[in-house]
């Protein structure tokens, strides 16, 4: 009798242990299955995104900007003279000056897209109308200044010295070291550039700061033109049908206001001071 009871008790313990082992093993199996499914789902999602990003080829077009309306740019294709509208809202844009009608640009966009306007991927300005009619400028902190030169610190160890003998100075309190200034110049910035205008930060918002001017010595006078000489013995011809240049004298130093850029063959004079 005792043996029978002992056998029954052992059998009950074995069956209980087996049941517990079975339940304990169920959970990891379920978790492993869930983790595998999640991993497969994530991989599928990533693959889908990669396919979406790479499911088109890129093509480029070069043309002339003919119209602008917010982020929508109309460009005339150089190849077939047709106008195409591009959406620049998500495009990477490489430009030095604001976009303007007449700019020559290259646009990269998805090949075969049926969207209108066409979503641009990137845009690069090859020739800027504003840039062609604007003298270059540099902004930085005045490190040194004299009657003849100004050294501008652009940061990151980069500094340049400008000749300011021919510069139109716009400054409420004169040129001061340690203050920010914008220098408009002609020539190469790293090869003795001539400053044509120096605007100190205290005068950025003035009307004078918006004007272009050159201070030079009168070298030659014609009926509709006048030639000024710079301190580096370079000559610039200013023209106008409205200004009486005969009132000036050869050898005088004058300030002449102009439009456009001094790099042009002739420069349109506005006023003499």
* Cβ–Cβ under 8 Å, residues 76 and 104: no
Radius of gyration in angstroms for the set of CA atoms belonging to the chain, rounded to a whole number: 37
Task: Return mean pLDDT, the chain.
Answer: 83
Q: Is the pLDDT of residue 24 over 50?
A: no
Contacts of 88 (CB under 8 A, 6+ apart): 71, 72, 73, 120, 123
Same domain for 77 and 126, yes or no, is yes
Q: Is the pLDDT of residue 179 over 70?
A: yes
Q: Is residue 21 part of a domain?
A: no
State residue 190's pLDDT score: 86
CA angle 66, 67, 73 (to 5 degrees): 105
pTM: 0.58
Element (H, E) at 85: strand 83-87
Which of 180, 210, 240 marks a domain boundary?
A: 210
Q: Is residue 255 part of a domain?
A: yes
State residue 55's pLDDT score: 65
User: 100 or 34, which is more confident?
Assistant: 100
Q: Is the pLDDT of residue 35 over 80?
A: no
Q: Is the pLDDT of residue 61 over 80?
A: yes
Phi, psi of 144, deg, nearest 5: -145, 150
Q: Is the pLDDT of residue 134 over 80?
A: no
Same domain for 87 and 114, yes or no, is yes
- End-to-end Cα spacing for the chain: 132
Same domain for 75 and 93, yes or no, is yes
Q: Is residue 6 part of a domain?
A: no
Rounded mean pLDDT of 153-178?
A: 94
Q: What domain count does the chain have?
A: 3
Q: How confident is the model at residue 32 (pLDDT cuts 50, 70, 90)?
A: very low
Q: How confident is the model at residue 118 (pLDDT cuts 50, 70, 90)?
A: very high
Q: Is residue 7 part of a domain?
A: no
Which of 168, 186, 210 marks a domain boundary?
A: 210
Separation CA 83–CA 67 (nearest Å) = 10
Structure tokens that stand for 152 in this block: 């501008």
Q: What is the DSSP string of 190-236?
A: TS-PEEEEEEEGGGTTSSGGG-EEEEEEEEEE-SSEEEEE-TTS-EE
Q: How confident is the model at residue 186 (pLDDT cuts 50, 70, 90)?
A: confident
Separation CA 135–CA 261 (nearest Å) = 5
Q: Is residue 111 part of a domain?
A: yes
State residue 131's pLDDT score: 67
Domain of 174, in residue numbers: 137-210
Which of 160, 192, 210 marks a domain boundary?
A: 210
Structure tokens that stand for 14 in this block: 């074995």
User: C-alpha distances in angstroms, 95 versus 62, 125, 262?
Assistant: 15, 5, 22
Q: How confident is the model at residue 262 (pLDDT cuts 50, 70, 90)?
A: confident
Same domain for 120 and 174, yes or no, is no
Q: Is residue 205 part of a domain?
A: yes
Same domain for 186 and 236, yes or no, is no
User: 185 or 12, which is more confident?
Assistant: 185
**Count of positions (residues) in the chain:** 273
State residue 260's pLDDT score: 84
């Amino acid at each position: 009798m005792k043996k029978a009871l002992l056998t029954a008790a052992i059998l009950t313990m074995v069956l209980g242990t087996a049941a517990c082992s079975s339940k304990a093993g169920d959970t990891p199996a379920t978790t492993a299955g869930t983790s595998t499914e999640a991993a497969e789902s994530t991989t599928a999602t990533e693959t889908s995104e990669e396919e979406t990003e790479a499911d088109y080829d890129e093509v480029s077009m070069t043309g002339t900007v003919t119209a602008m309306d917010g982020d929508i740019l109309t460009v005339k294709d150089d190849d077939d003279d047709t106008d195409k509208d591009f959406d620049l809202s998500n495009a990477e844009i490489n430009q030095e000056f604001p976009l303007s009608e007449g700019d020559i640009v290259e646009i990269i966009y998805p090949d075969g897209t049926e969207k209108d306007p066409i979503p641009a991927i990137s845009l690069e300005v090859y020739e800027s109308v504003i840039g062609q009619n604007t003298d270059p400028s540099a902004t930085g902190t005045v490190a040194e200044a004299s009657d003849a030169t100004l050294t501008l610190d652009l940061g990151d160890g980069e500094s340049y010295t400008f000749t300011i003998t021919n510069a139109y100075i716009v400054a409420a309190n004169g040129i001061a070291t340690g203050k920010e200034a914008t220098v408009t110049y002609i020539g190469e910035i790293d090869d003795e550039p001539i400053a044509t205008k120096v605007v100190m930060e205290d005068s950025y918002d003035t009307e004078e700061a918006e004007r272009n001017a050159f201070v030079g010595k009168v070298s030659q006078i014609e009926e509709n033109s006048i030639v000024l000489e710079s301190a580096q013995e370079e000559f610039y011809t200013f023209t106008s049908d409205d200004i009486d240049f005969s009132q000036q004298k050869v050898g005088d130093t004058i300030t002449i206001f102009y439009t456009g850029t001094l790099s042009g063959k002739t420069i349109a004079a506005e006023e003499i001071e």
